[in-house]
Amino acid sequence: NNAYIVSHNNEIITRELSTDILHGITRVSVLKIAEAHQLKIVERAFSVDELMSAKEAFSTSASGFVNPVVSVNGTAIGNGEPGEVTEALRASYVRESQAASI
């Protein structure tokens, strides 16, 4: 699975492709959907401090699609609820996946 944060100006930050992360099809699909939503994608590492102060956070995986991260070690991320960017990406991903299925 891959981790993402959403900055307060709605940039999606995730690690760049390397041997440290999975080059998965879910990641590729979600980043394409984010671009279609006109969201800026920044590929770089982020710190735990950035995560803790992010507007939103989510992870992606082949079996879990787009999953909101609402807290880490008992500390709320953003307002402690799934964020609007995460929810929009999840809804678009599910809709596109269903449309492509047989």
- CA angle, residues 61, 66, 69, in degrees to nearest 5: 100
Which residue segment(s) compose the domain that 44 sits in?
2-100
Q: Residue 93 sits in a domain of what CATH number?
A: 3.20.10.10
For the entire predicted model, the pTM comes to 0.90
Assess whether pLDDT exceeds 70 at residue 2: yes
Closest CA to 55 of 84, 31, 15, 88: 84
Assess whether pLDDT exceeds 80 at residue 102: no
What's the domain count of the chain?
1
Assess whether pLDDT exceeds 90 at residue 21: no
Which residues are within 8 A (CB) of 38 and not within 5 positions of it... i.e. 6 or more apart? none
